Structure 1
């Protein structure tokens, strides 16, 4: 959970420090990150394919298979990192055609130029992290993430405001801090994993040349997982763009509520990764009774945790936005959005955890279709039509999120029950 939360804490620090510069710079970071998050969702989705395959190999105690998956997966992540870098560089002009405030777009451009360079180290980190996760070694990525966040905080403070001998770079300073912290992130994790005696065999280069079959398996799992993340992340990106059509203050308020909701969501993502690892282990052992029991225990756990976050959002709805910015209008708008965010905490947490369990079972295509229907056939139309200035404005945008996340959680739960029942029935027939 802490390892996943670390990604968002980088954004939290950027938002809080940039928010002190005013609504326009905060909106610019929000707009720039809408493209960055779209790219990251795509890349991280592909990297998620590594975890269930390594977990399954670990359950089978097949180290050779695990090494092949790791090395092919890391190469895949590096290639995707280069593609994402190029995507951000060449897609920037799109922002001028999305009906966003021109001043905000102009501020976002230099920020994106620097953040684009961080895609390669970020994706290499993901490859290493998902490999370690598959072996249930989750604490090392957490250590790397904590260290990277401390570096990011320090560099942000020095470069955004121009403290001591450092120049005042404002938004560009935040981007430089993120870039350097991500280079540290991948370097630190690689050194830790490489020096672990029991992991040495995984870092011995394969004698065989690259195998198309392994890349195909990674793609088969990674591509639909990437689509799942794009479908879900895409609707959150859409809220940024829809909020931008309502003005700079609405976009800044949306960014505050989105950043807070993202932090609690990452706690659920951490439990989703737990579900992927533990379910993948049981699948490798063919112990489907334990698989279902473990998955249900994680679902109950995430529901309980997200209930506390929901209560916290309601009780602190007026205080939390004030951490980011001093603008009264922006904080009042953000506090309204946090009420909706409090309600969808439960469904958001459940849907990402159930997705993790299904990923551990290597069931990805039907869940991808479910995500598309929930977010883009149910959620987005509601956001689009109720999010207009003359309807429910920003709150209407978030009502669409609530509807999409709830629909996703319900449909994914039915899918998980169907598959586990099918597995258990098949096992009983074999035993008979």
Structure 2
């Protein structure tokens, strides 16, 4: 990374940082995307089971893995402040923490998933698929969490193209093992939805091996000696990672789990509704990788400028990220609106599922703008290491405003299942507004503090 002067230079650097992140996010998400897509081609009941399983898996994994995202602003600020000697310890302690988090998630699913599924009014075959899918995915927990820590380190050095290449390799690997294990090709067992989980777990182990090899052998990563001279556990470093990461993780959990909560609530509408809802959510989530990637780029660039005490540049990167995401979100909304029939037909040949999915996709198009604002604003706030208030705002927006609104619309109006999606739109919009106000206040406070310091030195 380097200092920029003009807005044109900033935009070019933003694109340079974000494009590889986008490709990386798409490649990583395509693991889940093809789990859903290929399972949908296998059968509606298996799709519903994987949908339920993913609704448990994704928020828990993403929420805890979000803690490791704190490594990015920590390393970015260390680099901006020219404290490179502290990078190694931060990353190594992050790897320790990643392994602990993986163990916690595994224990949670191992001891609780049977009880959680029993509370839901699911068809037995759907519950069985969900159970086996979650178990299979859990085999890949350790590599997935450790890779997230290593990826945060690589991205913080500005080498986002490296994680792009690694992640691009994950997609064909996952498709290949899905083909073998879901459908039972070339003599492999036909596992249906559970096969998608095993394929993903194998993929996670392979991409971790690739990442470790690159960091250990390639410049500039090997110069930091990440895998040499392992230190003892450092509670102070864990405290720093957790102080920034826990609010990030909880904030992400709050946002992603509301989609899972909607999936659970839609279970009463039957297997077809769950399948149609998952189709719309799966494709909308694919498009969400764009504002999410811009958000991650904003964290890196804002964190780097804050570390260098160039606060005006940090402010410009913040709003440049928002403007770019909003502009591109219009294209995403158009794709969802005008191609919703074709998108639904890609997933399923069941005409009832397709017809319902088309209607869900219409609502997915409506929350593209809110997503495009709240994601990069959150990324910029993480670059400032402002995470606690962000978590509270996200909690209120999604769970106090969005979900209750959806419940009321679904159960006391004629909207039915679609009421929950309207609630999602309301929650995301509330989040976009409140987080934007928070970013403005943070920047105003920093600007005032910088002005006072400037005159004090005269």
Fold conserved between structures, TM > 0.5? yes
CA contact (8 A) 1:51 1:131 kept: yes
> What is the rounded CA distance, in whole Å, between the counterparts of 2:139 and 2:431 in structure 1?
34
Correspondence for 2:66: 45
Correspondence for 1:22: 43
Cα displacement (A) at 1:107: 2.1
Correspondence for 2:123: 101
Correspondence for 1:186: 208
Identify the match of residue 315 of structure 1 among 338, 344, 364.
Answer: 338
Cα displacement (A) at 1:325: 0.6
Check if 1:398 corresponds to 2:406: no
Gaps of 5+ in 1: none
**In structure 1, the residue corresponding to 2:220 is in which secondary structure?**
helix
CA separation of 1:27/1:174 partners in 2, compared to 1, >3 Å: closer, same or farther? same
Correspondence for 2:11: none
Question: What do the CA deviations read for 1:229-272 (whole angstroms, capped 9, x no partner)?
Answer: 11101101011101111110000011101111111112211111
Identify the match of residue 137 of structure 1 among 152, 156, 159.
Answer: 159
Cα displacement (A) at 1:211: 2.5
> What is the rounded CA distance, in whole Å, between the counterparts of 1:23 and 1:163 in structure 2?
20
Check if 1:373 corresponds to 2:373: no
Identify the match of residue 435 of structure 2 among 412, 424, 427.
Answer: 412
Check if 1:279 corresponds to 2:302: yes
TM-score, structure 1 normalization:
0.97
> What is the rounded CA distance, in whole Å, between the counterparts of 2:161 and 2:307 in structure 1?
23
Identify the match of residue 354 of structure 2 among 325, 331, 338.
Answer: 331
Identify the match of residue 216 of structure 1 among 233, 239, 251.
Answer: 239
> What is the rounded CA distance, in whole Å, between the counterparts of 1:67 and 1:29 in structure 2?
39
Identify the match of residue 124 of structure 1 among 146, 149, 161.
Answer: 146
Correspondence for 1:263: 286
- Indicate the RMSD between aligned Cα atoms, in angstroms: 1.4
Cα displacement (A) at 1:27: 0.5
Pairwise mapping of residues 68-217 of structure 1 onto structure 2 (< 5 A)?
68-93=89-114, 94-204=116-226, 205=228, 209-217=232-240
> What is the rounded CA distance, in whole Å, between the counterparts of 1:317 and 1:197 in structure 2?
45
CA contact (8 A) 2:154 2:221 kept: no
> What is the rounded CA distance, in whole Å, between the counterparts of 1:72 and 1:185 in structure 2?
21
Cα displacement (A) at 1:390: 6.3
> What is the rounded CA distance, in whole Å, between the counterparts of 2:46 and 2:414 in structure 1?
27
Question: What do the CA deviations read for 1:43-93 (whole angstroms, capped 9, x no partner)?
Answer: 221111100000000101211121121111111111111111121222211
| Count of residues in Structure 1 that have an aligned counterpart in Structure 2 | 432
Gaps of 5+ in 2: 1-21
Cα displacement (A) at 1:421: 1.1
Cα displacement (A) at 1:280: 0.3
Correspondence for 1:8: 29
**In structure 1, the residue corresponding to 2:185 is in which secondary structure?**
coil
TM-score, structure 2 normalization:
0.92
Check if 1:33 corresponds to 2:54: yes
Cα displacement (A) at 1:206: 5.2
CA separation of 1:188/1:429 partners in 2, compared to 1, >3 Å: closer, same or farther? same
CA contact (8 A) 2:92 2:230 kept: no
> What is the rounded CA distance, in whole Å, between the counterparts of 1:361 and 1:134 in structure 2?
14
Question: What do the CA deviations read for 1:111-170 (whole angstroms, capped 9, x no partner)?
Answer: 111111111110011000011111111112211111111111011112211222222222
Q: Which has the larger displacement, 187-196 or 351-360?
A: 187-196
**In structure 2, the residue corresponding to 1:387 is in which secondary structure?**
helix
Correspondence for 2:76: 55
> What is the rounded CA distance, in whole Å, between the counterparts of 2:285 and 2:202 in structure 1?
22
Cα displacement (A) at 1:198: 2.2
Correspondence for 1:302: 325
> What is the rounded CA distance, in whole Å, between the counterparts of 1:105 and 1:128 in structure 2?
34
Question: What do the CA deviations read for 1:287-342 (whole angstroms, capped 9, x no partner)?
Answer: 11111111111111111111100011000011101111111111111111111111
Cα displacement (A) at 1:21: 2.2
> What is the rounded CA distance, in whole Å, between the counterparts of 2:125 and 2:163 in structure 1?
38
Cα displacement (A) at 1:389: 8.9
**In structure 2, the residue corresponding to 1:280 is in which secondary structure?**
helix
Question: What do the CA deviations read for 1:2-51 (whole angstroms, capped 9, x no partner)?
Answer: 11122321111111211122211100000011111022122221111100
